Amino acid sequence: ATEKQQTGRWLNSRVENSHLPFRRRERAMQRFRRMRSLQKFASVHSSVYNHFNQERSLTCRDTFKLTRTAALTEWRELGAA
């Protein structure tokens, strides 16, 4: 069963497309049985993600660490309340 590996121009497209953000989101959505539970999760997840997402590549390390620490401190304060 020695088959020759196929190589070509678009043969890798399926693999490359599976890593796109909306494809990852679609895969995650398949785990939910009910649309309502998906919506609950998505609303909480988006607010947490937006709180901690600092766009690392756009800032220097010191600024990134300061904003990340501030976000974590605020998150802990919200959790303690």
Per-residue CA distances from 76 to 51, 69, 72, 73, 80 (Å): 12, 11, 6, 5, 6
| Domain-embedded: residue 29 | yes
Angle (nearest 5°) at CA 49 between 44 and 53:
165
Q: Could you tell me the two tokens for 79?
A: 């959790």
| Domain-embedded: residue 4 | no
What is the model's pTM? Answer: 0.47
* Confidence band for 55, pLDDT divided at 50, 70 and 90: confident
Q: Report the pLDDT value the prediction gives residue 70, as an integer from 0 to 100.
A: 92
| Domain-embedded: residue 7 | no
The residue with greater pLDDT, 48 or 56, is 48
Total domains, the chain? 1
| Domain-embedded: residue 6 | no
| Domain-embedded: residue 76 | yes
Domain carrying residue 23? 13-80
| Domain-embedded: residue 2 | no
| Domain-embedded: residue 20 | yes
